[in-house]
Amino acid sequence: MMSKLGVFDISVRYGKIPAVTDLSLQINEGERVFVSGPNGAGKSSLLGAISGAVATSHGRIEMDGDLLTGRQPEAIARLGLSMVPEGREIFGALTVEENLRVGTGMRRDVQAVEADVGEILDAFPILAERRHAAAGALSGGQQQMLAIGRALMTNPKLMMVDEPSLGLAPKIVDQVYETLCALQEERSLTLLIVEQSSLRAARVGGRMILMRGGRIVGEGNAADMADREALAQAYFGAPRSNSDMEAAE
Ligand SMILES: Nc1ncnc2c1ncn2[C@@H]1O[C@H](COP(=O)(O)OP(=O)(O)OP(=O)(O)O)[C@@H](O)[C@H]1O
Ligand SMILES: [Mg+2]
């Protein structure tokens, strides 16, 4: 298997606050990897470090053998890495089409940009239907599709998605993951996805990395990890419900 991404011993700090500490990670080409863990575990900081949005204080990151560390996010994007940020960062006052063009301002190949917009609209019929609508008028699920579509505009090989499920109804989350998995197949994408729900990760399938306090504390097949977590909660962690208490008495 070909290595796509190599993270070697990186640390991220915000002033005195350590967010990621001596973290290493290898991702193979075509793999689907979930990052799970509680709030503040450092999941977004890890993605930010890889995309170049957040500086590392230590270590190095490589994609296809190219050093990413120290490069500008735009340069990293040009190498084939794209990110769907936490909270989507859709421009509500702009139309769907205009949102797709955000980030293409530097490109002089206007026709190629329009061809790329057309390709994304073909891939997402719901976006095509609403291409002239203000993005702010879309539902949460549609906005997530738009954020994914926009990230595909640079034709990435590695795509990172930070919490695609956030604030969406379970049925909509199903659709988002169906779309992501289909895109992965069609475009031979490598996916790195932050997903709080280990059950969801298990259902979609892939490798799961569990982070806590800026470090990796567990790793394995998502389905096995979800089972283990459920077991641990049943024995040690889960707050007991009233009916459990009554049954025990
Ligand atoms: N811009 C920032 N300035 C200062 N501290 C930050 C900043 N961003 C994150 N942190 C801190 O770094 C740590 C890791 O945060 P991060 O956002 O990476 O975690 P996360 O796992 O993505 O959390 P969440 O599940 O809430 O999205 C936390 O202690 C957080 O408070
Ligand atoms: Mg986060």
Q: For the segment 58-79, what is each residue's pLDDT rounded down to a tens digit? A: 999 999 999 999 999 999 999 9
Is pLDDT above 60 for 245?
A: no
Distance 43 CA to ligand 2 centre (A): 5
Find out whether the beta carbon of 35 lies less than 6 Å from any atom of ligand 1.
Answer: no
Dist CA 217 CA 238 (whole Å)? 19
Res 238: pLDDT: 56
Q: Is 137 in the pocket of ligand 1 (CB under 6 A)?
A: no
Ligand nearest to the CA of residue 21, numbered in listed order: 1
Nearest ligand to the C-alpha atom of residue 35: 1
Residues 6+ apart with CB under 8 A from 204: 32, 34, 177, 181, 195, 222
pLDDT band at 105 (very low <50, low <70, confident <90, very high): confident
Looking at residue 8, what is its pLDDT? 98
State if residue 130 touches ligand 1 by the CB under 6 angstroms criterion: no
Nearest CA to ligand 1 atom 28: 40
Ligand 1 and 165: CB distance under 6 A = no
- Per domain, the residue ranges of the chain are 3-248
Q: What is the pLDDT of residues 87-101, one digit of tens each?
A: 999 999 999 999 999
What is the pLDDT, as a whole number, of residue 116?
A: 92
Does the CB atom of residue 11 touch ligand 1 within 6 A?
no
Pick the residue whose CA is nearest to atom 30 on ligand 1.
Answer: 40
Is the pLDDT higher at 223 or at 20? Answer: 20
Identify the CA nearest to 82 among candidates 183, 228, 216, 175: 183
What architecture does CATH give domain 3-248? Answer: 3-Layer(aba) Sandwich (3.40)
Q: 38's torsion region: left (phi>0), alpha (psi -120 to 50) or beta?
A: beta
C-beta of 39 in contact with ligand 1 (< 6 A): yes
Instruction: For residue 163, give the ligand 1 atom closest to its CA.
Output: 27
Q: Given pLDDT bands bounded at 50, 70 and 90, which one contains residue 234?
A: confident
